[in-house]
Amino acid sequence: MPQNSIVSTEKICTHINSQSILKNVSISLGRGRVVGLVGPNGAGKTTVMKSILGLISVDSGSIFVEGQQVTPQHHSIIKQKVGALIEGPAIYPFLTGFEHLKMMTNDIGQIISFSDQLGLTKYLPKKVKGYSLGTKQKLGIVLALINDPDLVILDEPMNGLDPQSTRQLRNLIQKLSKNGTTFFISSHILSELEKIIDDVIVLDSGKVTLSTSLEKLYQESTRKLVIETSAGSVEINNEDFSQLNNELIRLIKQRVKINNIRYRPSDLEDSLLKYLDDHNQEEN
């Protein structure tokens, strides 16, 4: 296991019924990093997270958290150091939000502080059965954050959150990660994670297809040059000057008016697609 990583899995495989779900998944989460786990629905994101938490057993391979091996029988390290929200929080409908949090800690200051930052405070005295999906989700997130875990695992935490709440969550994650907390966050929507993650792991059909830092991803991706004309806009790869020349000649010949030429920075989705594309070409 790399020295600076808080979690690592080594070639974990698991199946449900007779279907293979995870296929040799080896990942490593750097300490203090915010790591995104992205992939389409059914890719195995929740299964990876459950395995790391010792909630399900794996057929082969091993999982280490803080250097200690985790299995469904041995997971005391998880209780001590890890907070998690998996597939919506486990909640008691007839207890209030506050009563849920009070079961986890006596530190009322911490309860109020996290609840304030996510806009949950006014719902705390109310019974959870009346909560909206988003409010339940916020309660689950606060439950995961309480007691200063070293690692926080959040499975699709933005589910049900409105844009303002998503921003509040982003700010809170950024603040905690600056103080050294490691985050492992899944989403099937790339753009949701783009603003908060340092590293990205892509999972597809139970296999890791990419694991890299965003910094590297952006370095390798090309920006686009956008030519806006009276007849619509044309996109050109940043460094493709022959394409640029041909396009300009064509536009001028047709007497199309050029209104603007600008760079469009690539977003995470562009970069990922390009990376995967290049990668496949190398393999073929």
Ligand X SMILES: Nc1ncnc2c1ncn2[C@@H]1O[C@H](COP(=O)(O)OP(=O)(O)O)[C@@H](O)[C@H]1O
Lookup result for tokens 């459950």: 50
39 binds, among Mg ion, ligand X, none (CB under 5 to 8 A by kind): ligand X
41 binds ligand X (CB under 6 A): yes
CA 93 to chain centre: 28
Separation CA 136–CA 10 (nearest Å) = 34
Cβ nearer to ligand X, comparing 46 with 117: 46
47 binds ligand X (CB under 6 A): yes
Amino acid at 37: L
Cβ nearer to Mg ion, comparing 14 with 46: 46
Amino acid at 205: S
Separation CA 170–CA 159 (nearest Å) = 13
9 binds ligand X (CB under 6 A): no
Lookup result for tokens 């309480």: 146
- Binder among 9, 14, 46, 135 for Mg ion (CB under 5 A): 46
Binding-residue total with ligand X (CB under 6 A): 10
Give the chain's count of helices (H) and strands (E).
10, 13
Contact region for ligand X (CB under 6 A) — 34-42, 126-134, 158-166, 190-198?
34-42
Q: How far is the CB of 87 from Mg ion (least distance, A)?
A: 6
Q: Nearest to residue 118, comparing CAs of 174, 185, 175, 168?
A: 168
189 binds ligand X (CB under 6 A): no
Footprint (CB under 5 A) of Mg ion, residues 173-232: none
Q: Are strands 232-237 and 60-65 parallel, antiparallel or unpaired?
A: unpaired
Paired tokens of 106: 């006596």
89 binds ligand X (CB under 6 A): no
Q: How far is the CB of 225 from ligand X (least distance, A)?
A: 36
Residues that bind ligand X in the complex, under the rule CB under 6 A: 16, 21, 39, 41-47
Residues that bind Mg ion in the complex, under the rule CB under 5 A: 45-46
